[in-house]
Amino acid sequence: MEYMLIYRQPAEVYEMNRDPVKGPPNLAAWQQYLDAMGAAGVIKSGNRLEALAGTSVKVVDGKRQVQDGPFADSKDLLGGYIIIDVESLDDALGWAELSPSSRTGATDVYPVMGMPQR
């Protein structure tokens, strides 16, 4: 079954990752995590996102409202996602637990339903 792991961390973590001295050790933890997932053969797809540059769109009273991120209603920013293919929710939760974002923010796990066929 496929699950989407969504990685959220505080803005300070993303800013630290850009620091030439503090960033590499933190990014090395991510590389180890991704290497372990790759070795296990569970990764289907995924991407890193520019967490500090998101934009939110709402339609209120028929008018578009745009808010540039980071967004005030959440202290954690969405930094990326991976679609994994594992046997069970417990397996997906195990991979989420190993994520570096689970130690500094959170990792959300969603079952992938797929698009309806026309």
- Domains, the chain: 2-111 (3.30.70.1060)
Q: How confident is the model at residue 63 (pLDDT cuts 50, 70, 90)?
A: very high
> Which tokens hold the place of 110?
């969603």
pLDDT at 71: 57
> Higher model confidence: residue 22 or residue 116?
22
> Which pLDDT tens digit goes with each residue over 37-59?
999 999 999 998 887 777 878 89
Q: Which helix (H) or strand (E) holds 20?
A: none
CB contact set of 41 (below 8 Å; sequence gap of 6+): none
